[in-house]
A = this chain, B = another copy of it.
């Protein structure tokens, strides 16, 4: 458990959001107090990471409910639903965003008989509950992953599926923090994760700040590390998991999974079950967000590629389930065969 980093706080009716764009060199919290500000925070990636996006969306939806103008339920809920769609449009790939918005709306509907004031109050508590439960879920993911690790193993991870992607513990990082709490030494390599460098700026930051043994590497070094026998296990988060176990995660995850197969290294996904989208049958149906070329051609204003160059910049890729040894969730490790074993969870 790390008390050093906290990506989002809810205090006195507003969210304080750690602006992850400024890490690792500055820790600045910004007030996010209405749905539009939360939309911007998500879209511009001041906060990111599937579970954290979900938590933020829950607060955002609460803000929308609090600020909706209509004074009777039917008109009011339509306003709220519209703001919900607006929030969902901020980023298409992570399922938690949609999950959180729909959950909060469904929750509102369940309280239809109450006054709007009461509903809004309950929605505030529900957003806070989602926030708190995320921490409990993430911790359990780490506990469930303990069977996969031994003292002095070396893990490799990608992007940031850490505290900064959630609220506490993270998903892929959870077992690292839980292991530390239990005195099990681990060594970690963190892919820097271009173009946005979540690994360098966020994962390396939070693991190092929390006293873990972490080494930063460029994404293209993973194969060489594995060829030297330096990696025992690879564990990443997920942005969306299809019903058959195909997993969308930060671009570069697919390459890692293929390298793992080549070197016979176990490759695991760590994610809460809310990341599983049973309405999406396979990886083919997952929408892959493409982001601005500027993320690749520029960094902090410095141009590093020729003006006018064509750029390919998908934010995610899809790892087919046959490359995944297991999906570690708060309910346990889901093993192949995924269609069957995932369906069991949602029965």
Q: Using a CB-CB cutoff of 8 Å, which residues 157-195 of chain A contact chain B?
A: 189, 191-195
CA distance A259 to B220 in the complex (A): 12
Known: A216-B305, A216-B309, A311-B216. A223 touches B254 (CB 8 A): yes
Binary flags per residue of A203-234, CB closer than 8 Å to B gives 1, else 0: 01100110000111111111111010000000
CA distance A214 to B224 in the complex (A): 27
Q: Does A297 contact B (CB under 8 A)?
A: yes
Apart from A197-B304, A221-B314, A300-B300, list 7 A-B contacts with CB within 8 A. Answer: A24-B306, A204-B305, A209-B306, A219-B220, A220-B220, A220-B255, A227-B318
Q: Does A130 contact B (CB under 8 A)?
A: no
Chain B residues lying within 8 Å of A68, measured Cβ to Cβ, are none
Q: Which residue of B lies closest to A293 (CB)?
A: B216
A218 touches B195 (CB 8 A): yes
Q: Does A132 contact B (CB under 8 A)?
A: no
Chain B residues lying within 8 Å of A304, measured Cβ to Cβ, are 24, 192, 197, 200-201, 299
B24 touches A223 (CB 8 A): no
CA distance A51 to B300 in the complex (A): 33
A312 touches B219 (CB 8 A): no
**Of B197, B221, B311, the contact of A217 (CB 8 Å cutoff):** B311
CA distance A299 to B25 in the complex (A): 13
A-B residue pairs in contact (CB < 8 Å), sample of 6: A24-B303, A195-B218, A217-B311, A225-B312, A227-B254, A255-B259
Q: Does A265 contact B (CB under 8 A)?
A: no
Measured as residues with beta carbon below 8 angstroms from the partner, the interface class of chain A is 35 or more
Binary flags per residue of A275-313, CB closer than 8 Å to B gives 1, else 0: 000000000000000000000110110111110111111
Q: Does A245 contact B (CB under 8 A)?
A: no
CA distance A303 to B300 in the complex (A): 10
A192 touches B189 (CB 8 A): no
CA distance A302 to B214 in the complex (A): 21
Query: Could you tell me the distance in whole angstroms from the C-beta of A222 to the nearest C-beta in chain B?
Result: 7
Q: Using a CB-CB cutoff of 8 Å, which residues 235-263 of chain A contact chain B?
A: 251-252, 254-255, 258-259, 261-262
Q: Does A317 contact B (CB under 8 A)?
A: yes
Binding site for B on A (CB under 8 A): 24-25, 189, 191-195, 197, 200-201, 204-205, 208-209, 214-225, 227, 251-252, 254-255, 258-259, 261-262, 296-297, 299-300, 302-306, 308-314, 317-318
Chain B residues lying within 8 Å of A311, measured Cβ to Cβ, are 215-217
CA distance A252 to B317 in the complex (A): 18
CA distance A340 to B67 in the complex (A): 77
A300 touches B297 (CB 8 A): no
Determine which residue in A191, A224, A227 has the highest number of CB atoms from chain B within 10 A of its CB, and name it: A224
CA distance A222 to B318 in the complex (A): 13
- Nearest 8 CB-CB pairs, A to B? A220-B252, A223-B255, A224-B317, A194-B218, A219-B220, A215-B310, A217-B312, A200-B305
A218 touches B25 (CB 8 A): no
CA distance A158 to B314 in the complex (A): 18
Query: Could you tell me the distance in whole angstroms from the C-beta of A133 to the nearest C-beta in chain B?
Result: 30
B214 touches A251 (CB 8 A): no
**Of B204, B225, B317, the contact of A306 (CB 8 Å cutoff):** B204
B194 touches A192 (CB 8 A): yes
